[in-house]
Every structure is written in structure tokens, then in C-alpha cells.
Amino acid sequence: MLATTAGAGMAQDSSDNWLTRWLQPSGSAPVPAPAGGPREWSGLPGASGHPLMTVDAIRAAAADFGNCLEALWPQAERRGISRPVFERYTAGLTPDLGIMDLLDAQPEFNKSTWDYLDLLVSDDRIAKGRERLSQNAAAFAAAERTYGVDRHIVAAIWGVESNYGTMGGDRSVLRSTATLACVGRRRDYFREEFLSALEILQRGDIAPERLVGSWAGAFGPTQFMPTSFRRFAIDFDGDGRRDVVDSVADMIGSTANNLKIDGWVSGQSWGYEVVLPQTSIICWPTVRAR
């Protein structure tokens, strides 16, 4: 098993840090689209049994999709999104119901940690990582100086999240997050992601046609969710835009900034292997009702 070093790596109480997303099931895990593009919805209910994942609930929410998006306008306006921008990106938008078949699906994290790592760490991926480290040595060095995050960790995240940009997904982030904001069982969470995606387009950090990613809205070589982009993305190459998709410098700097803010401590490992004795007992904390 893995145990994080006290104070190292990333904050223990964060539910949206790199270690949590890497080693546990996550809706933002990149899912490559099948050949020929995203599939249509199967028409089946979600495996969770959630009332919002029944066939009737999905169909009803899809039918009300336009009204749902319009109801989000006041929140968008409070975030500084202009009405023309809102209308430009929501007019004619339709839900991607194929996502409903993925929302309740178990991701690839059903293997033991070491079996999973064996799948991720291949000779080819190691070779690609070394190439990226060499090709972008200046950006990695600058990020190390600025944030104190080991360049090899950032490179490894790049490889794990998208195989160095080759498996980042091809779904529209705006359409995916809009779908999940209005259809399915995680609407509250994805409303924030949808509104944050609109903010990215309002600011012009990333071109609309380049804002593509996984079915859950993660995008770029290190798979930022829109809300994570809002918190952590930086303009590391100084061109006035925070482009974590096409600017390698921005992507490296933003990823390092994410880790630093999440609690990374220079010089300490993100984790280490421990072996529990056979006689060990795991005790769970209890909460006494008052």
C-alpha cells in the first residue's frame, strides 16, 4: 500500500489533489473516445440506482436542457460573463447523453495499486518522459525554482494523465460540463465546472476549439478541470494567456503551482511503501452522537 509522507506531497484534507485523483476513482479520469467519436446514449439507467439516473429522469432532464442552461445565466453574469458570450456558447447547445453511460461506470481503478502502476509505467512512457524533460528543460527548471516541485513529478503527471498529450479526450468541455450540470446525479458539482468553463472562454485563455477533453470536462496534457484551472492556472510564458493546452510552459508552471498550493513540500517524497504486520488492527474513528 502507499502512505503519504506527513506534510509532503499534497494536503491530506484535500479531496481534489493529484494523489487522490491518481490513485482513487475519479470522474475526471481521461476516457479515450471510441473510434468514430462519442457514442450515443444506450438508453439504459445508471448503475448507481440514483433517482436522477433513471431512464425517465434522464429523458426529462434532456428535454428541459435549454431551460436549465438559461436558469444559470444569473450566476454566469455574477462571474463577469457577458450576455453575448453566454448566448454564443449556449445557443443551440444540446446534451451529450452518451456521458450518462460513463457517469456510473467503474473506471480503470479496480486493480491493486501496484498492478495499476505496472500498466502506467512502461519503457515507452519512460522514454517519452525523458524526451519531454530534455526538450523542455528550461521550463521545468523555471518551475522548480519558482514552486520547488521536482520536475520529474510534473513530467510523471503529464505522462499518467494523458500519455504526454496523446490521450486527453476529444469531447467539448463546455458541452460535457453543461450536460452534467443539467442531467444526471452530479448537477451541483458540474454547475461550477460549466460556469468555470464559460469563464475560460470569456477571458480568452483557451480557444473554443481547443477546449476539449474527457467526458467529465478535464482538459489539457495534465487534465485540469475548469474549477482547478481557475484556481491554479498561470501565465508562465508571459504571453498574457493561461493556456495549459498549447503552451508547454503554462502547463508545466500551472501543474507545479497546483501541487505547491495543495501542500507540496520541497525535498520530501510524495509517498512511500509500507508493509503492515499481520497482527495489525485498523481502527476507524467514531463519532459520538450528542
User: Which residue numbers are catalytic?
Assistant: 161
3-state helix vs strand vs coil in the chain, percent to 5:
50, 5, 50
Q: Are 61 and 68 in contact (CB under 8 A)?
A: yes
C-alpha cell of 6?
Answer: 506527513
Cell triple for residue 209?
476549439
Q: What does residue 135 show for φ and ψ, rounded to 5 degrees? A: -65, -30
Helix (H) or strand (E) holding 193: helix 187-203
DSSP E strand stretches across the chain: 2-3, 171-172, 212-213, 272-273
Distance in angstroms (rounded) separating the CA atoms of residues 16 and 112? 21
Q: Give Cβ neighbours of residue 151 (< 8 Å, ≥ 6 apart).
A: 133, 140, 141, 143, 144
CB 193 within 8 A of CB 99: no
C-beta separation of 271 from 5 below 8 A = yes
Instruction: Give the alpha-carbon dihedral of 197, 199, 205, 210, to 10 degrees.
Output: 30
Question: Is the CB of residue 236 less than 8 Å from the CB of residue 139?
Answer: yes
